[in-house]
Structure 1
């Protein structure tokens, strides 16, 4: 293997890049992100480039990838084309089913998917990788991906796209994502499914307990003196604190409050409206606790509040800490987050491609470029909860990789 050059666009807090950075076959040579917290936020407000630089050693260029002339991008990055790998993960916010409006309205940001073909034309990568929400391939606006695939095919790429629940690859979280790999120059097209053929992960390695059960306890609003990223925000109100304290440990949710009339005082107005409608199924995870012996629920961008999902600790009355969220999203325990506001650091995690998976993608890309199939054990990212002895064969027996 040589050292293959990687450029990461829409680079965020470095989740995709870190997998390539940690792999001995690759060097990340450039990245770009506009650092937008929300569409209405000013550029730079998210602060993700500080997190990226702290871990990858490259400061991304702050540029609006919706507007920049694609053929000026290599100069903006200080690079000469071609590069070996282009990682490009446009925002998934306009596709994800967590926003019900996405089934009806084609978000303006979705056009960024097709722009990746323009960046490919400028940078001439041999391999392209992309990760996005499942709805990129299955939703009402799949024409954006179809247009990208057509454009890349015209440029000489073979394109493969599929959806996966990432527990398949060892992530201790129910996270369903689309993964795209495109290759050119007659290179063989390899996939994560091929890397994992005949292998799986032992179920006991996919649990919240296995991932974060060893971390020290915290109160809300506290931080671990030994790890400033093992920190959790203080509840905004005594009512929220009391509501979480009333919810049963180890997988309970707000719906458990309905069983005891004395606990109804903790119901929010929105909860009471759902009860009146008899519509309890649309928001089952709000104010929910993680369950020790199961994977975590999907960690979304707005994971910084217990009301936004099953984000309360299994038995401590607080939000899962930034470090706990990061580990559950496949980050190594040593990952450092830039000194920006805690809410934005949570967004760096929720927005990210899990590094545990991007390291496996790097192994697949090394297979494409070198022709040498990697051992699956060598595709397990060091510093994460996953170990080589967690691999099992089709019969569930511990298997050599």
Structure 2
């Protein structure tokens, strides 16, 4: 019998985790984020209310009121991962204010006393002292804690994305459900976006404003035409290779200016996936970077997920950030199913 679990999603972003939890059957009541750009997509696509607020200003009473009446309460969140990401290239350190958001998450766990906690972040977080501090606090509060790096493609996300998933429960030992997709069944780029209508660089599809692609300079147009799926700029003629890549330091970035491969999952979506030069974000066969809609689908958002009101302009940098920072919906669903299975077993 399905048990009732009410949840609050901290650092909710555009709603990827919330959407996944809802698909699994969890009653997400509120999403909290400091970014006003998250408000419309979060509420337009999900059943939860959006609260524009910094987590350090959220009170335990607010969260307890939101989850009131449910037999089981879940506090979920994904603190901003930039300080711990390999993409930061060592540019952040312990002085970065975002490191301390994890302590605010711990404070809210301590003060609200939920039955269940989940957190998703980059795998490097597990190497940081602040993560050890967070886990120790959960255990001090009598939570059973498990965490591991998860390959998102193993749960139906068409993307080679590694994420750290933590699950904690005061009911008993808790673990992620086993992978739902073995490597032979990983969802590929072709399966995810292969049937979207073709567009050219700089074009927006007339029936989906999110299916739009950046323009390309004449040089980058020559570069993408010289690129093959799964290849790199090393395949180009010498006159197309950027000066920075000819240097020793530039040779460590073979995937920039690359095309995706049709029959493999996509690379990790970043907040700049819509730019051809920002990673292996070239379309497998069309001479352009992937569109905003294609990036959202590769993050396993439903095809009709709304990121901007009808008729309003779409700011590519903003929407790209929302999509790239999101918890993949399919991963959120797997987390939700793990929590439900656990409550059925121990509740």
What is the TM-score of this pair, normalised by structure 2? 0.90
Displacement after TM superposition at 1:57 (Å): 3.2
Unaligned runs of 5+ in 1: 36-43, 374-401
- Separation (CA, whole Å) in 2 of partners of 1:21 and 1:2: 13
Do the aligned partners of residues 357 and 78 (structure 1) sit closer, same or farther apart at CA in structure 2, a change above 3 Å counting? closer
Q: Deviation per CA, 1:320-378: give whole Å up to 9, x if none.
A: 011211121222223222245122112111101111111111111111112299xxxxx
Are the equivalent residues in 1 in contact too, given 2:227–2:235 (CA < 8 A)?
yes
- Cross-structure match for 2:137: 151
Are the equivalent residues in 1 in contact too, given 2:29–2:49 (CA < 8 A)?
no
Displacement after TM superposition at 1:319 (Å): 1.3
Are the equivalent residues in 1 in contact too, given 2:153–2:187 (CA < 8 A)?
yes
Pairing 1:116–2:105 present: yes
Find the residue that maps to 1:348 and give its secondary structure: helix
Are the equivalent residues in 1 in contact too, given 2:274–2:291 (CA < 8 A)?
no
Q: Deviation per CA, 1:38-71: give whole Å up to 9, x if none.
A: xxxxxx3xx1221111111334111112x31543
Find the residue that maps to 1:61 and give its secondary structure: strand
Are the equivalent residues in 2 in contact too, given 1:204–1:210 (CA < 8 A)?
no
- Separation (CA, whole Å) in 1 of partners of 2:283 and 2:60: 47
Are the equivalent residues in 1 in contact too, given 2:118–2:166 (CA < 8 A)?
yes
Are the equivalent residues in 1 in contact too, given 2:233–2:256 (CA < 8 A)?
yes
Are the equivalent residues in 1 in contact too, given 2:8–2:66 (CA < 8 A)?
no
- Cross-structure match for 1:165: 151
Displacement after TM superposition at 1:290 (Å): 0.6
Are the equivalent residues in 2 in contact too, given 1:81–1:123 (CA < 8 A)?
no
Do the aligned partners of residues 104 and 195 (structure 1) sit closer, same or farther apart at CA in structure 2, a change above 3 Å counting? same
Unaligned runs of 5+ in 2: none
- Separation (CA, whole Å) in 2 of partners of 1:319 and 1:178: 28
Pairing 1:178–2:149 present: no
Displacement after TM superposition at 1:78 (Å): 5.5
Do the aligned partners of residues 276 and 71 (structure 1) sit closer, same or farther apart at CA in structure 2, a change above 3 Å counting? closer
Larger RCO: Structure 1 or Structure 2 (Cα < 8 Å, ≥ 6 residues apart)? 2
Are the equivalent residues in 1 in contact too, given 2:274–2:295 (CA < 8 A)?
no
Do the aligned partners of residues 188 and 362 (structure 1) sit closer, same or farther apart at CA in structure 2, a change above 3 Å counting? same
- Cross-structure match for 1:33: 33
Pairing 1:64–2:49 present: no
- Cross-structure match for 1:39: none
Displacement after TM superposition at 1:239 (Å): 3.1
- Cross-structure match for 2:222: 242
- Cross-structure match for 2:234: 255
Pairing 1:273–2:244 present: yes
Q: Deviation per CA, 1:280-339: give whole Å up to 9, x if none.
A: 542111111111122211111222322111111011111101121112122222322224
Do the aligned partners of residues 4 and 206 (structure 1) sit closer, same or farther apart at CA in structure 2, a change above 3 Å counting? same
Pairing 1:136–2:125 present: yes
Find the residue that maps to 1:180 and give its secondary structure: strand
Are the equivalent residues in 2 in contact too, given 1:97–1:103 (CA < 8 A)?
no
- Separation (CA, whole Å) in 2 of partners of 1:274 and 1:369: 52
Alignment of 1:2-401 (within 5 A): 2-24=3-25, 26-35=26-35, 44=36, 47-65=37-55, 67-68=56-57, 70-71=59-60, 73-74=62-63, 80=68, 84-101=73-90, 107-138=96-127, 142-184=128-170, 187-192=171-176, 194-196=177-179, 200-201=181-182, 203=184, 205-235=186-216, 237-245=217-225, 247-257=226-236, 260-261=237-238, 264=239, 266-268=240-242, 272-277=243-248, 279-339=249-309, 340-371=314-345
RMSD, aligned α-carbons = 2.4
Find the residue that maps to 1:371 and give its secondary structure: helix
Find the residue that maps to 1:311 and give its secondary structure: coil
Aligned residues, how many? 341
Do the aligned partners of residues 105 and 9 (structure 1) sit closer, same or farther apart at CA in structure 2, a change above 3 Å counting? closer
